[in-house]
Amino acid sequence: MTNRLKSMQWAAMRLLLRSVGRLSEGVRIGYRHGFDSGSMLDYVYVDKAHGALGVGRIIDRVYLNAVGWRAIRARRELLKDVLRKEIAERGGDVFVLDVASGPGRYLQDLVEEHRDRSETSLRVECRDLDRAGLAQGKERARERGLEGISYVHGNALDPLPCDRAPDVIVVSGLYELLLDDAVIAASVDRLRGLLAPGGVLVYTTQTHHPQLEFIANVLPNRDGALWVMKCRPVELAEEWAAAAGCTGVTSRRESVGLFTVTTARR
């Protein structure tokens, strides 16, 4: 296919998504907040189709069943499994910091799980640049009666120290949005330095995605530009941690097969 035909194809798909596609609630959220936003991911996590005129709900179901969103839901379950293990092994008073959390729905689930456990006191701080996502998470935490989770506006790539060094730092869904490997390597090094002694850094990597070209030519990100992602081998993700001086670096792949979750210890 020539470049001109390809350009026409992408233009037609953008037009279709902006018109008929907006009958889907998920697509509407994507255009309102960005398809890469925390608000979008929060909607994907719920995985319940909504839309207008009946057909919108069908479109939304197809949208939510896209391989990338299925992989993100699988990534969330793997993250929860990894964090449960890390929290259980520490016991006592555990502090978790997520530097790019969005509304932090899965973190709220973990806080709720540990609310009545006398052997572990869990505190979570959610940070993000998306104020709408933070407000959404804060309101949902209030509705659920969760006191062990807080929401703070902050830059994941320039994180301020906490009032206490975190036992666990989470970076989920951020590094695949960054195109410069050196920026990510610097982030891993900086976050390792924020950890408490014996703490663990947990971060995700997208190793491949069959719809990268479609996404990069059709879907806008939170800044209104087309959403471009970069896939990387898990070996490179582990090299960032090793270069930062981390030990015990290991990775697991979620069940759909697009993402890995890496743990690296200080």
Each residue of 147-176: pLDDT tens digit?
999 999 999 999 989 999 999 999 999 999
Pairing of strands 247-253, 149-153: unpaired
Task: State how far the Cα of 39 lies from the Cα of 220, in Å rounded to an integer.
Answer: 14
In the predicted model, is pLDDT for residue 48 greater than 80?
yes
For residues 61 and 2, the model is more confident at 61
Task: State how far the Cα of 206 lies from the Cα of 108, in Å rounded to an integer.
Answer: 24
The one-letter code for the residue type at 84 is R
Mean pLDDT of 179-203: 97
Q: What is the pLDDT of residue 172?
A: 95
The string of DSSP codes covering 50-111 is: -BSTTHHHHHHHHHHTSHHHHHHHHHHHHHHHHHHHHHHHH-EEEEEEETT-TT-HHHHHHH
The structure's pTM equals: 0.92
Question: Which residue do the tokens 């398809």 mark?
Answer: 35
Task: State how far the Cα of 266 lies from the Cα of 101, in Å rounded to an integer.
Answer: 22
**Cα-based distances in Å from 11 to 26, 36, 215:** 20, 20, 13
In the predicted model, is pLDDT for residue 116 greater than 80?
no
In the predicted model, is pLDDT for residue 230 greater than 90?
yes
What is the 8-class DSSP label of residue 160? Answer: P
Query: C-alpha 21: how far from its chain's center?
Result: 24
Mean pLDDT of 35-56: 93
Query: Which residues contact residue 139 at a Cβ distance below 8 angstroms, ignoring those fewer than 6 apart?
Result: none
H or E segment at 112? helix 105-113
Question: Which residue do the tokens 């799980």 mark?
Answer: 113
Instruction: Return the sign of the alpha-carbon dihedral for residues 240, 245, 246, 249.
Output: positive
Q: What is the pLDDT of residue 1?
A: 65
Task: State how far the Cα of 156 lies from the Cα of 152, in Å rounded to an integer.
Answer: 11
Q: What percent of the chain has pLDDT over 90?
A: 89
Mean pLDDT of 51-74: 96
Q: What is the pLDDT of residue 120?
A: 75
What is the 8-class DSSP label of residue 24? Answer: B
pLDDT per position as a tens digit, 122-153: 999 999 999 988 999 999 999 999 999 999 99
Does residue 91 come out as left (phi exceeding 0), alpha (psi in the -120 to 50 range) or beta? left
